[in-house]
Amino acid sequence: MAKFGFLGILLVSIALFGSCSNNIGRKAQIEEQAPAVSEKTTPQKSYGSYLAGRVAHLRRDFNKASDYYIEALKIDPNNPELVSRLYLLLVSKGRIDEAAVYAQKAWDNGDRNSFIQVVMAVDALKQGNYSQVAPILKKTTNPVYNEFINPLLNAWAEVGMNNPDQALAQLDKLKKEPSFRALYHFHRGMINDYFNRTRDAQTDYEVIVNEEQLEMSFRALQVISNFYLRTDQKDKAVTIANKYNDEKLLAEMLAKLQKNVASAKMSNTKKIIQTPNEGAAEALFSIAATLRQGVGGIDLAHMFIAMSIYENPKYDLAKLLLADILENREMYADANDVYDTIGKDSEAYYTVQLKKANNLVLTQDYAAAELLLKSIALDSDNYQLYFNIGDILRVKNKPEEAIEYYEKALEKLSNPESQHWILYYALGVAYEQDNQWKKAENSFKKALELSDNHYMVLNYLGYSWLRRGENIDEAFTMIVNAYNQAPNDSNVNDSLGWALYNLGYYRMSINYLEKAAEADPSNAVICDHLGDAYWFNNRKNEAGFQWRHALRLKDDSKELNKDTVQKKIQEGLKQEPKLTYNQEVIEKQIRLIQKSDD
């Protein structure tokens, strides 16, 4: 069975986040579904607390929503819909001990969602009641719980009861699914290692290390390198750490691990998994990470990763995954609260600071983001830190300071590669904003070289040349190239329409300027350009409307000259644009546009 086909069966409809977004929670519905809450069935006496809970729920304040629902249940303890909603919310916030109480009530009320048994089993694991886990999970009816989730949890419960062979036997159920091969050997290795079965642990770990088709996760790298260090095989630890590569990870995170491995001593290296609960946390992390890959799996991934942290509150990678899920839900403040629990000694620390700063930028708290990044930049050689600071300063309209940090970022790059084009592009923008055009031009040309003519760079440089009346034929060619790469980009359509207008193709220019205005109606410069094009197409009332609209809009680009626009409103345009260009070159490019549009 293919991996995602396997997961598709598991993604049952759990009505936790679906009420917050129309795009969340649309999962395959099979045998289980938590009952939907109907306001009509909520008794009037508890309606105040219930309504407050619903408001908090819609605002994605799940802690407050849970507390309000608890208050509502004190008034109306027999409301089954509220109970079913509440235990899920509590799980999402890591309040598993409370969730287990309401999960049991939901089960008693007739809710037969298999996830209920997982919640209670996880709480039993946390409390050290390992013998209760298997009987609890036995009540699940979903086959994928029985073939994927339950074996992992039962295995670590057997570890808690000091039954190594029974623990390994539980994992054998994972062997049925070929895509779980790495997962199977990873947990076998950790269990064998826990019981000091060093030879068997190494056999399992080296299946992951040596079989190229198996992807080694960052967590597996941490655990296996730790094993090699403890067993006096530092050379192997260094080798796997140095050859590991994952573009999704920021360089600082991997670099710190490599540094720690290189400087580690066998006598000071302790096992990562020292308790059955830490092993259970690994199982729940594995489940969450697997679910996160599936379409619609974010709801369950959110809850499983919260349970992983409940089992091991010091599990930093689990916290990273939880924060990533919260960011996916646009819950940036909640994600940063999670990041704040990760200490400076963690290999993830600098990655966390970058992510936290990015969340501050997304919530437009630029001052806090700038302060955060500057506070850690001195401790790091990571070019991304300086790059991000430069971006924040540029957004804050401080191009001179932005340039300083962009140039520091370049100093950290010994050999700029294709992915670094965006740094040269941003530096070019900052130079242009700081009226250092020649430097800006050189940066844009370097960005073009590295990016293989990315449309953003083509558009910016072409438009800048056009505004300056320079290299008109080449500028128009660049803008056409950008358009053919990104025909729906509002900025590119504006550049193309504005270029056609300045070249005298007024009627044709309107098509692209209207397209740009439709895609970005709050862009003052686009509205101004469209007004100019309307004027020379004898649509003077529409021109006046666009100019007046442009004056009402905020212009972050600082390009719009309000005095000039006001004068156009009062007097109209007296003179047509005049540019010197090669007619043959321009006509050839226009034919390329028309061919692209056909």
- The CA dihedral of 108, 113, 119, 120, to the nearest 10 degrees, is 40
DSSP string, 53-100: HHHHHHTT-HHHHHHHHHHHHHH-TT-HHHHHHHHHHHHHTT-HHHHH
Gap between the Cα atoms of 520 and 526, Å rounded:
8
Give me the residue spans of the domains in the chain.
3-312, 318-414, 453-597
Domain 3-312 matches domain 453-597 at the CATH topology level: yes
Instruction: Specify the pLDDT at position 16.
Output: 43
Contact 155, 167 (CB under 8 A): yes
Instruction: Specify the pLDDT at position 81.
Output: 79
Instruction: Specify the pLDDT at position 46.
Output: 54
The label of the residue with tokens 């395959």 reads 28
The DSSP secondary-structure symbol of 216 reads P
pTM summary value: 0.74
pLDDT in tens, the chain (598 residues): 333 343 433 433 333 443 332 222 223 222 233 333 333 344 444 556 556 656 556 666 676 666 766 666 666 677 777 788 888 888 988 999 999 998 999 999 899 999 999 999 999 999 999 999 999 999 998 888 999 999 999 999 999 999 999 999 999 999 888 889 999 999 999 999 999 999 999 999 999 999 978 878 889 999 999 999 999 999 999 999 888 766 555 566 777 788 888 888 888 889 999 999 999 999 999 999 998 887 668 888 999 999 999 999 999 999 999 999 999 989 999 999 999 999 988 888 888 988 999 999 999 999 999 999 888 876 667 788 889 899 999 988 899 999 999 999 999 888 889 999 999 999 999 999 999 999 999 999 999 999 999 999 999 999 999 999 999 999 999 999 999 999 999 999 999 999 999 999 999 999 999 999 999 999 999 999 999 999 999 999 999 999 999 999 998 888 999 999 999 999 999 999 988 899 999 999 999 987 777 6
Sign of torsion over alpha carbons 392, 393, 399, 400: negative
Contact 280, 156 (CB under 8 A): yes
Which among 319, 280, 335, 324 has a CA at the least distance from the CA of 298?
324
Distances (CA, A) of 426 to 262, 292, 407: 36, 33, 11
Instruction: Specify the pLDDT at position 19.
Output: 31
List own/partner pairs for 587-594 with CB under 8 A and 24 or more apart. Answer: 589/476, 589/477, 589/480, 590/480, 590/500, 590/505, 590/508, 592/480, 592/484, 593/480, 593/483, 593/484, 593/496
CATH code assigned to 318-414: 1.25.40.10
Candidates 3.30.310.50, 1.25.40.10, 1.10.1240.10, 3.40.50.620; correct CATH number of 3-312? 1.25.40.10
The DSSP secondary-structure symbol of 214 reads S
- Which CATH architecture best describes the domain 453-597? Alpha Horseshoe (1.25)
Gap between the Cα atoms of 189 and 200, Å rounded:
7
Instruction: Specify the pLDDT at position 73.
Output: 66
Instruction: Specify the pLDDT at position 49.
Output: 59
Gap between the Cα atoms of 476 and 482, Å rounded:
10
Q: Identify the H or E element spanning 403.
A: helix 399-411
Gap between the Cα atoms of 424 and 33, Å rounded:
51
Q: Which two tokens stand for residue 584?
A: 């043959």
Which among 144, 145, 87 has a CA at the least distance from the CA of 119?
87
Q: Which two tokens stand for residue 356?
A: 């936290």
Instruction: Specify the pLDDT at position 350.
Output: 82
Contact 440, 464 (CB under 8 A): yes
The whole-angstrom distance between residue 199's C-alpha and the CA centroid of its chain comes to: 39
Instruction: Specify the pLDDT at position 329.
Output: 87
Which among 451, 359, 366 has a CA at the least distance from the CA of 402?
366
Q: 561: which residues sit within 8 A by CB, 6+ positions away?
A: none
